[in-house]
Chains A and B, each alone.
Chain A
Amino acid sequence: MPKISLNMITQRSIEEGAAMEKGKLNPDYFDACSICEMNPEDMKKGGIWKNTNVRVTSECGSVIVKAIVPTQFCPPGLAHIRQGVWANQVVPPRTQSTGVPQYSGFPVTIEPAPSENLKTALELVQGAVGLWKGGK
């Protein structure tokens, strides 16, 4: 399967903020944050169809998100996952001795994963600490 390497940033968006204030267990939050924005050129290179699932892998983990055409233009080479549970599955905790993790500007590889399912916020966080009781 083709893999592309991109530079990942994770930042705020109003959709994420508005959904978060309804509650992180709200379906709006899932829709707002479980996506990865990337340039259509990069999608073509990686063999990714828009609005299909992809696996994003960084130095410290991987997450399944839905690839979409950017709502705010991203140049080729740059990818953006909105801040939140899905983004933080791949954010490296290294801080350059300042306390702030590398939320923006870390290398990732992205590959198509159309048959994989998105996980809910609760499944990702509870799953990471061994508390998830729901099904796969």
Chain B
Amino acid sequence: MNLSRVQSASGKEESNMPKLITQVGCPYCGSSCDDIEVLVSDDGKKVLEVHNACIIGTNLFHHANDSTRPMLPRKRQPDGSMKEISYDEAVDYTAKTMLAAKKPLIFGFGSTNCEGMSAVGRVAEKAGAVLDNCASICHGPSFLAMFDNGYPSCTLGEAKNRADCVVFWGCNPMHAHPRHTSRYSIFPRGFFTQKGSMQRTIISIDPRESDTAKLADIHYMLQQGHDYELFDAFRTVLRGHDIPDEVAGIKKEQILKGAEAMKKARFVMIFFGMGCTHTDGRNHNVDIAISLTRDLNEHTKASIMAMRGHYNIAGPGQVWSWQFGFPYCIDLSKGTHAHMNPGETSSVDLAMRDEVDCFVNVGTDAGAHWPIDAVKHVKKHPFITIDPNFNMASEISDLHIPVRIAGVDEGGVVYRMDNVPIQFKAVLKGLSGVPSDEELFDMIYERMCVLTQSEPIWLTAKEDRKYPSPVVS
């Protein structure tokens, strides 16, 4: 529905009308809702209303209206203040700094599109950098477990249409993925789940009585950090063996009850989150969750899915696996081949061991979301932030380069938490002169090629190259 060209009574076309843009994707959490409607002003520069989104998505779209959004790169001066510089200067500084560094670290990509992720791959290769994304401090252990044990997963559509027993292990979608429960997991009526929530048994495993746990039929308030034991108890019961009277603070009868509910279900869906990967055990918690899923398939159908945090944090896993063979923690400093070994090539570990001498923070906020000790270590060297907004990282950076906001004033492909690609669209006209991530990385790559007197082979191969685009010139 487009309201922009409505015939008035006099027959004249009225163009001073807000436009309602439908089927917009929301660039916040891993649910990647694609049913948002955004009412934008006639000139396409202001968001007026946001429909269907949760409060976080609504705030995100409205934040794009912020008149203080940076439109030029800012470089830190010797006195500590920030001074605006041109994009050309910023690109030159970034290219030179990354080439001069022995081992730059490029981290982030929680909030950008796949086009940007692909473009940064070329920059990282040229710079001999370590390329890492937010999964490194989030679902990284899940990747390790998947490498070891496989990933019997499905799409969110299947979860909605089939699952009649949904397990939320160490995740709290009511807070972190607010529309997940209404779109996919608890409330929606699906093909085989026509009674919606009435038909579903919800099990929550969380040391707190979270708002998701309040919706559950069974809530296991386990002792924090004892997830592995509880998973193990479920597996033991499912295999027909006896368990102790109490495991991880949960009574035996309760565990038997949950195991029975899972066994009787027609389709069990296990969602797991940071409660598994942020605590003791890390990848082993996810490993045994996958084994539990496999065991459940002896009795019924079961599937498992990681509750990815950002709308396109599954994207770097896809894009970089295709480019380099690894989803995260990719060390390209050898110059001949990519090498991945979390613990060694993971961002926080590299930072703590002072192994990197340049830090580029892209579409995330390491300043706020890294342990402060790790931030202090990377701050010893040049620190560059590429992000549309002011944040903690931008405020301690030596250089802050603003870009367009993916999903708001820049379209692109994103991968939802179930690895389904979705084409997001731009709802606003981008700020004049501000490039997208992809355009910026192409500029940096080209500048690096000039500085090293080499051919920008990747750009010549790029048929639909956007840069130099009219927006930037």
Q: What residues make up the interface of A, taking CB atoms closer than 8 Å to B?
A: 7, 9-14, 17-19, 21-25, 60-61, 70, 72-75, 78, 80, 83-85, 88-89, 91-93, 95-105, 121-122, 124-126, 128-129, 131, 133
Contact = CB atoms under 8 A, between A and B. Distances in A.
B113 interface: no
Interface string B50-64: 000011110110010
30 contacts: A7-B225, A9-B224, A9-B278, A12-B274, A14-B178, A17-B56, A18-B56, A21-B59, A22-B63, A24-B368, A60-B371, A74-B208, A83-B369, A88-B369, A93-B348, A93-B370, A95-B343, A95-B346, A99-B342, A99-B348, A102-B279, A102-B280, A105-B225, A122-B392, A124-B372, A125-B367, A125-B375, A125-B396, A129-B375, A131-B395
A72 B63 CA distance: 28
Contacts of B175: 12-14, 17
A23 B342 contact: no
Given A23-B389, A98-B140, A99-B349, A104 B374 contact: no
User: How would you classify the secondary structure of chain A's contact residues: helix, strand, loop or mixed?
Assistant: loop
The 8 closest A-B pairs by CB, nearest first: A99-B346, A97-B343, A73-B209, A103-B278, A21-B59, A105-B225, A93-B371, A21-B60
A85 B176 contact: no
Interface residues of B, number: 69
A84 B342 CA distance: 23
A25 to B, nearest CB: 6
Nearest to B328: A99
A111 B283 CA distance: 34
Contacts of A22: 59, 63
Nearest to B393: A125
Most B CB atoms within 10 A — which of A99, A128, A133?
Answer: A99
A1 B349 CA distance: 36
Contact of B211 (A17, A24, A72): A72
Contacts of B279: 9, 102-105
B471 interface: no
Nearest to B380: A129
B66 interface: yes
A14 B56 contact: yes
Interface in B387-420: 389-392, 395-396
Contacts, number: 185
Contacts of B66: 23
Given A75-B207, A99-B329, A105-B279, A88 B395 contact: no
A31 B469 CA distance: 42
A107 B59 CA distance: 35
Contacts of A18: 55-56, 59
Interface string B116-144: 00000000000000001000111011001
B20 to A, nearest CB: 22
Contacts of A24: 365, 368, 390-392
Contacts of A13: 175
Interface of B: 28-29, 54-57, 59-60, 63, 66, 80, 132, 136-138, 140-141, 144, 172, 174-176, 178, 207-211, 213, 221, 224-225, 274-275, 277-280, 282-283, 309, 328-329, 342-343, 346-349, 351-352, 365, 367-376, 379, 389-392, 395-396
Contact of A103 (B132, B174, B210, B274): B274
A7 B390 CA distance: 33
Contact of B392 (A21, A85, A96, A102): A85
Q: Which of B55, B372, B374 has the most CB of A within 10 A?
A: B372
A78 B207 contact: yes
Q: Which of A9, A80, A121 has the most CB of B within 10 A?
A: A9
A104 B227 CA distance: 12
A89 B213 CA distance: 28
A12 B396 contact: no
A93 B349 CA distance: 8
A96 B138 CA distance: 14
Contacts of A10: 278
Contacts of A103: 137, 274, 278-279
Contacts of B371: 60, 88, 91-93, 101
A74 B28 CA distance: 27
Contacts of B328: 99
A21 B111 CA distance: 12
Contacts of A91: 371-372
Contacts of B132: 99
Contacts of B373: 60-61, 93
A31 to B, nearest CB: 14
Given A24-B391, A104-B224, A98 B278 contact: no
A108 B456 CA distance: 52
Contacts of B372: 61, 88-89, 91, 124-125, 128
A97 B66 CA distance: 41
B210 A129 contact: no
Given A21-B60, A99-B328, A121-B392, 19 more contacts: A7-B225, A12-B175, A12-B274, A12-B309, A14-B55, A24-B392, A72-B210, A72-B211, A96-B282, A98-B140, A98-B283, A99-B137, A100-B141, A101-B370, A104-B275, A105-B278, A122-B392, A128-B372, A128-B375
